[in-house]
Amino acid sequence: MNVICDECQKEFWLDRPHILTMTSGEYEVQYFQCPYCRKKYHVLTSDAEMRGLIGERSRIAGSIRLARAKHFKEATIKKMIVKLDKIKQQQEEKEKELKPIGEQLLEEGQTNGEHCTEGSE
């Protein structure tokens, strides 16, 4: 996707391999940078709980796809969807807590205990 940097106004292409991950203690901060001015843009901050929720949501979404492909009863699928929606709500609440932490870590540009990798999820 094409992105225009808020800082330098230059346009650049962004795709999954350009997402970087910074690890600081228990937190993983995913972000991307403008290739021209190096401004960092926060994508997601996660901790062990958030990563668990992401995994659980992915698992349930896969189960729903499989249930639909195998023509499970609609009531069964609806129960799965309710579960999925609850997890999504938990993630949204957790994201409100974690986003400021991740943005602060990016702003500080911590180097102690930090590890950056490209294309991580």
Residue 1's pLDDT is 87
Q: Specify whether the CB–CB gap between 60 and 36 falls below 8 A.
A: no
The angle at the Cα of 56, spanning 74 to 1, to the nearest 5 degrees, equals 95
Selection from 60, 50, 29, 56 nearest residue 93 by Cα = 50
**Per-residue pLDDT, 16:** 80
- 59: amino acid identity, one letter: R
- Tens-level pLDDT at each residue, the chain (121 residues): 899 999 999 999 998 888 999 999 999 999 999 999 999 999 999 999 999 999 999 999 999 999 999 999 999 999 999 999 999 999 999 999 999 999 999 988 744 444 455 554 4
Burial class (CB in 10 A: 0-12, 13-18, 19+), 9: exposed
